[in-house]
A and B are shown apart, each in its own frame.
Chain A
Amino acid sequence: MLRMKTADVVTGLVLCILGIAMVIGGYTMDRLEIRSIHPASIPGLVPMILGVLLAICGALLTFTSLNKSYKFDIDVDDPKMLFTALGLCLGFALVLLGWIPFAIATFIFITLASYFFRESRGETTKDKALTFAKSIAFAAIMSAAISALFRYAFLVRLP
């Protein structure tokens, strides 16, 4: 469990840094003098303004958070499940996809996700084996259906 106060203070500081970085980025951005543009229309103008506003908001967030009493904290009901979901989803989207064909990647992801996302309290080994078999069957049907839908109905060249 992360304290909201800590999170807000840290976020405020991060926003300050981001804001300053945007101001610097906007200031050092090419002013296109070679194209004789109007000085008021330089590409870095709005990023600089946004950077200043972000830095001000970040500073305000940090300052007000330090002087405030919080009634609640950031809470996740099931952190283990959250990290499982994050691992499976990001593994599918960022690693499997593009590395192996879409239909196979989807099959692996849906099999594992539908197995691990379930409520597994009080299950025997036999129950687990049966659930895994169901997950495989479900994943086979869904990966084939989704792949066919996008490949043949929407004419998408799948990754």
Chain B
Amino acid sequence: MMTVLDSLAQAFANITQPMMLFHVVWATLLGIFVGSLPGLTATMGVALLTTLTYGMGRDPAILVLICMYVGAIYGGSRSAILLNIPGTPASAATSLDGYPLAKAGKAAKAMALATTGSALGTFVGIVMLMLIAPPLASIALKFGSYEFFWLAVFGIMISGQLTADGNVLKGYIAGLLGLSIAMIGSEGIHAYVRFDFGIREMSGGIGLIPVMVGVFGFAEVLTAISSRRGVVERSPERSGRSLPKLAEVVKHRVTIIRSGIIGTFIGIIPGVGEDIGAWASYAAARSRSKERDKYGKGSQEGLIAAETGNSAVVPGSLIPAITLAVPGSAASAVLIAALFIHGIRPGPMIMIEQPDFIYSIAVMLLFATFAIFVFGVTLTPLFVAVLKIPYSYLMPVVFTLCVIGPYAISQRLFDVWVMAVFGVIGFILRKMNYPMPPLVLGIILGALLDKSLRRGLILSDGDLTPFFTRPISAIFVAIILFGVLSGIPAVRRLVTGKTKGTATREQ
């Protein structure tokens, strides 16, 4: 206990230095701006900012990325409430009740509730991060090649299943495409170069940052420009109270705690993300609410549930990212890449190699939370003004950053081409309803899956039995089988006893 308190105190002392506080301020503000502008997502913001942190020290770099992440997820609520356009996908559920409240002349109140929900949601997530991450890292130390193989398979499967918009098959395909991309370049056991097609630059593999900037940056630019999304059409009200009444917060305490816990656990699930956290929290709040009929028409409870849920995903997604090197969301996937760039090796050894790191992250999240709360209640008119920046000026600058960002890592034009190719591919796949998180997760987990399977087979002399008989492996296999089977409509119908013709969510 004393060690934990010491670590927290040390982290506090580190972050309360003037320069670090300055980083908290600008990075959180930038994050809120990025999040509030439809078309700019948290993942894009973190990916672009990663390219600007190369010259920074380890702690300042991670701090600005975390502040950007927290700020962007919160910032999405601004446009969701004021314009009915979610700034990020994470805020889609927020607009359901936030916008009706704004239309009813309660925009300031809605924003105050969203601010409080986001801050408390992140806080719940931080507490759970500190409680769950250390024991999870201890359990992960017992993982061998067999368990890591199934963990990678589980991550791809669950991400594909939960992020697919109706057709689970497309989620799996996105994951498989990601894994296939990860097969390019030098493999991790014998250093044999695969699928480089004689292109020298491909022998090192396809870089995660260029792919992420392409898929989440360039593809977003194309989407925003071609859909004319984000054109501000109405002038939102500016007056009103920006600080919620304490009684209102206390009234919704159960919703806040429940949504915070749901959001955190959704965050822990590999490659799922904030939007699912918001929807799951919203659905849970609605099912238990006494005023269910108000949902979708301006329910304060619904708004708080959605915002608490999506914000709690941020610390939640960092739990597997730090302890297993498996990202809980697309933005945390970029954070993993950033950690490697700055000399931190996330994974089960983190609690042995750098035991203070988790508490350092918790304190960084805490400062980011405090910053969003302060900026949320004081700078509402500024965010409204930001929403009016014409996209014709914004998007060319964003694309220029998409180009120079990946180039800055390796200083080679090949990474710019990778960004451009994956931007176009990402745009087409999105238009065809393929989710992007499984693709990114596949690229990240590809090497782990490949190495774990082959290393496991070497250890067992080609025998597959240990992959199914070791206790943790067996649990993974059971969950994966259950997940895949439950995704097959025919099996679902069989289990639920429904007859042919049961409507599915599919088109």
Closest to B180 in A: A50
Q: Given A92-B399, A156-B407, are A43 and B458 neighbors across the interface (CB < 8 Å)?
A: no
Which B residues touch A146, using CB under 8 A?
Answer: 397, 400-401, 404
Contact A97 B225 (CB under 8 A): no
The residue from B173, B453, B455, B507 contacting A71, defined by CB atoms under 8 A apart: B507
A49 nearest CB across to chain B (Å)? 8
Contact B420 A90 (CB under 8 A): yes
Which B residues touch A114, using CB under 8 A?
Answer: 392-393, 396
Bound-state Cα–Cα, A153 to B401, Å: 15
The yes or no answer to A101 lying at the interface (CB within 8 A) is: no
Which A residues touch B458, using CB under 8 A?
Answer: 38, 40-41
- Tally of contacts, chain A with chain B, CB under 8 A: 182
Bound-state Cα–Cα, A18 to B407, Å: 29
B459 nearest CB across to chain A (Å)? 10
Bound-state Cα–Cα, A118 to B503, Å: 43
Closest to B450 in A: A46
Contact B226 A79 (CB under 8 A): yes
Question: Size of chain B's interface in residues, with CB distance under 8 A?
Answer: 62
B155 nearest CB across to chain A (Å)? 15
Mask of A56-96 contacts with B, CB within 8 angstroms, 1/0: 01101100100011111010111101100110011011100
The yes or no answer to B198 lying at the interface (CB within 8 A) is: no
Interface class of chain A by DSSP: helix
The residue from A4, A25, A70, A113 contacting B399, defined by CB atoms under 8 A apart: A113
Q: Which B405-458 residues sit within 8 Å CB-CB of chain A?
A: 407-408, 411, 413, 416-417, 419-420, 423-424, 431-433, 449-450, 453-455, 457-458
A118 nearest CB across to chain B (Å)? 4
Bound-state Cα–Cα, A61 to B183, Å: 23
Which A residues touch B222, using CB under 8 A?
Answer: 82, 85-86, 89
Bound-state Cα–Cα, A61 to B231, Å: 36
The residue from B393, B420, B449 contacting A93, defined by CB atoms under 8 A apart: B420
Which A residues touch B172, using CB under 8 A?
Answer: 57
Q: Given A32-B190, A156-B408, are A39 and B225 neighbors across the interface (CB < 8 Å)?
A: no
Bound-state Cα–Cα, A18 to B179, Å: 13
Q: Which A116-145 residues sit within 8 Å CB-CB of chain B?
A: 117-119, 138-139, 142-143
Q: Which B170-191 residues sit within 8 Å CB-CB of chain A?
A: 170, 172-173, 176-177, 179-180, 183, 187, 189-190
The residue from B390, B400, B419, B461 contacting A142, defined by CB atoms under 8 A apart: B400
Q: Given A38-B462, A50-B180, A57-B169, are A106 and B457 neighbors across the interface (CB < 8 Å)?
A: no
The yes or no answer to A110 lying at the interface (CB within 8 A) is: yes
Bound-state Cα–Cα, A118 to B506, Å: 36
The yes or no answer to B216 lying at the interface (CB within 8 A) is: no
Which A residues touch B506, using CB under 8 A?
Answer: 68
The yes or no answer to B26 lying at the interface (CB within 8 A) is: no
The residue from A39, A94, A115, A119 contacting B417, defined by CB atoms under 8 A apart: A94
Q: Which of A41, A60, A69 has the most C-beta atoms of chain B within 10 angstroms of its own C-beta?
A: A41
Contact B192 A30 (CB under 8 A): yes
The yes or no answer to A20 lying at the interface (CB within 8 A) is: no
Which B residues touch A93, using CB under 8 A?
Answer: 403, 416-417, 419-420
Which B residues touch A97, using CB under 8 A?
Answer: 403, 413, 416
The residue from B391, B407, B431, B449 contacting A159, defined by CB atoms under 8 A apart: B407
Bound-state Cα–Cα, A54 to B175, Å: 10
Contact A57 B176 (CB under 8 A): yes
Bound-state Cα–Cα, A92 to B480, Å: 44
The yes or no answer to B55 lying at the interface (CB within 8 A) is: yes
Contact A110 B400 (CB under 8 A): yes
Bound-state Cα–Cα, A60 to B192, Å: 32
Closest to A155 in B: B55
Which A residues touch B183, using CB under 8 A?
Answer: 22, 46-47, 50
Bound-state Cα–Cα, A45 to B399, Å: 38
Closest to B225 in A: A85
The residue from A4, A38, A86 contacting B424, defined by CB atoms under 8 A apart: A86
Bound-state Cα–Cα, A153 to B53, Å: 11
A51 nearest CB across to chain B (Å)? 8
Selected A-B contacts with CB under 8 Å, 13 pairs: A25-B194, A29-B194, A37-B190, A39-B462, A40-B457, A45-B453, A47-B180, A50-B176, A64-B169, A68-B506, A77-B226, A114-B396, A159-B416
Given A61-B169, A81-B225, A94-B417, 8 further pairs, Cβ under 8 A = A11-B432, A18-B180, A25-B194, A50-B176, A50-B180, A69-B507, A92-B403, A93-B420
* B residues lining the A interface (CB < 8 Å): 52, 54-55, 169-170, 172-173, 176-177, 179-180, 183, 187, 189-190, 192, 194-195, 218, 221-222, 225-228, 231, 390-393, 395-397, 399-401, 403-404, 407-408, 411, 413, 416-417, 419-420, 423-424, 431-433, 449-450, 453-455, 457-458, 461-462, 506-507
* A residues lining the B interface (CB < 8 Å): 4, 7-8, 11, 15, 18, 22, 25, 29-30, 32, 35, 37-47, 50, 53-54, 57-58, 60-61, 64, 68-72, 74, 76-79, 81-82, 85-86, 89-90, 92-94, 97-98, 102, 106, 109-110, 113-115, 117-119, 138-139, 142-143, 146, 150, 153-159
Q: List 3 A-B pairs, minimum CB-CB distance, nearest first.
A: A40-B457, A82-B226, A113-B396
